[in-house]
């Protein structure tokens, strides 16, 4: 990542950007987010296979945004998130520069978000084999079995909202769960509160989730909650030909086709 470090230094020295968001060595063989504001700190920047946290979650964080123009180290999932965020008017070329890292771990810089989009669109969003298998397994179950599966999985959830915090798409200042007139979703973490929170979350991410697994990686209890969004991703493919984050907008769930197909409406 020599060229990444070099570029980061330039950007700071020429004050093209105020902060470069990247990865650094963390504690106990973890890697973690680094915010480079002084050129010398750029040497701490690193990248390897452990760097899976979706840094896009930081570009909407107030204290980070307030620093001024940002540059972000972006793997493919992060780039996808950035494009989705741009299509939702949360970032733009004036406040964000993307320092890309290709799936082959090569450094690649982009002049603007359009270039990022073009790059991202070379790859379709595919669910990994292990989770695909899990989805199939669940779909083969009877509804009753699935119900039991999810109650068992979701009941331990203690609603720390790490999944929400880690998700770049969950940038709302007031999440539906924080809405209390009326109280759409029970605040306490009991079966109902947990079930409805996770259903709501999955629905809100439908057509927006880019399958980075940040939610799952963040969960201190390793609840497979990402299966819900993955299922929505698969359905979007099946029913509407799938989606890619796009600067043109046209969000999957805020648009429609007159000939959308279904087989359950009488």
Of 173, 241, 164, nearest in space to 204 by CA: 164
Of 235, 233, 246, nearest in space to 125 by CA: 233
CB-CB contact of 249 with 87 (8 Å): yes
Task: List the one residue from 49, 103, 106, 262 that touches another protein (CB under 8 A).
Answer: 262
| Residue 143 in contact with another protein, rule: CB under 8 A | yes
- Piece of the chain touching another protein by CB under 8 A; list 69-77, 112-120, 121-129, 193-201: 193-201
Of 122, 10, 143, 129, nearest in space to 76 by CA: 122
In sequence order, the 6+-apart residues with CB closer than 8 A to the CB of 62 are: none
Place of tokens 């770049």: 168
Positive or negative torsion for Cα 88, 90, 95, 98: negative
- Piece of the chain touching another protein by CB under 8 A; list 5-13, 106-114, 119-127, 199-207: 199-207
Residue 104 CB, nearest approach to another protein (Å): 26
> How many residues make contact with another protein (CB under 8 A)?
99
Q: Closer CB to another protein, residue 114 or residue 160? A: 160
Q: Which residues pair with 31 in a beta bridge?
A: 25
CB-CB contact of 138 with 227 (8 Å): yes
Q: Closer CB to another protein, residue 70 or residue 119? A: 70
Q: Closer CB to another protein, residue 114 or residue 192? A: 192
**In degrees to the nearest 10, what's the CA dihedral of 173, 179, 185, 189?**
60
Task: List the one residue from 14, 49, 94, 254 that touches another protein (CB under 8 A).
Answer: 254
| Residue 178 in contact with another protein, rule: CB under 8 A | yes
Residue 251 CB, nearest approach to another protein (Å): 5
Q: Which of residues 104-133 bind another protein (CB under 8 A)?
A: none
Q: Closer CB to another protein, residue 122 or residue 254? A: 254
Task: List the one residue from 223, 226, 243, 245 that touches another protein (CB under 8 A).
Answer: 223
Q: Other CB atoms closer than 10 Å to residue 206's CB: what's the count?
A: 19
Q: Closer CB to another protein, residue 109 or residue 153? A: 153
Task: List the one residue from 10, 68, 92, 172 that touches another protein (CB under 8 A).
Answer: 172
Positive or negative torsion for Cα 128, 134, 140, 144: negative
| Residue 222 in contact with another protein, rule: CB under 8 A | yes
| Residue 182 in contact with another protein, rule: CB under 8 A | yes
């Amino acid at each position: 990542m020599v060229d990444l470090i070099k570029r980061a230094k330039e950007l700071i020295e020429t004050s093209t950007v105020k902060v470069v968001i990247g990865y650094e060595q963390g504690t106990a063989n973890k890697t973690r987010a680094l915010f480079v504001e002084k050129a010398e700190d750029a040497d701490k920047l690193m990248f390897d296979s452990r760097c899976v946290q979706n840094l896009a979650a930081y570009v909407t964080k107030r204290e980070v945004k307030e620093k001024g123009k940002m540059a972000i180290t972006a793997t493919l999932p992060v780039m996808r998130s950035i494009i989705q965020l741009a299509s939702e008017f949360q970032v733009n070329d004036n406040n964000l520069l993307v320092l890309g890292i290709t799936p082959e771990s090569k450094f690649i810089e982009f002049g603007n978000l359009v270039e990022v989009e073009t790059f991202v669109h070379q790859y379709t969003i595919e669910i990994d084999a292990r989770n695909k298998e899990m989805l199939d397994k669940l779909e083969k179950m009877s509804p009753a079995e699935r119900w039991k599966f999810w109650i068992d999985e979701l009941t331990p959830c203690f609603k720390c909202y790490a999944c929400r915090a880690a998700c770049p798409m969950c940038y709302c200042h007031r999440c539906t769960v924080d809405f209390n007139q009326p109280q759409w979703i029970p605040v306490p973490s009991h079966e109902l509160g947990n079930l409805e929170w996770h259903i709501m979350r999955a629905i809100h991410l439908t057509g927006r989730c880019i399958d980075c697994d940040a939610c799952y990686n963040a969960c201190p209890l390793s609840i497979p909650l990402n299966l819900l969004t993955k299922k929505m991703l698969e359905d979007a493919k099946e029913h509407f030909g799938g989606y890619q984050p796009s600067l043109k907008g046209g969000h999957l769930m805020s648009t429609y086709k007159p000939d959308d197909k279904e087989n359950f409406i009488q």
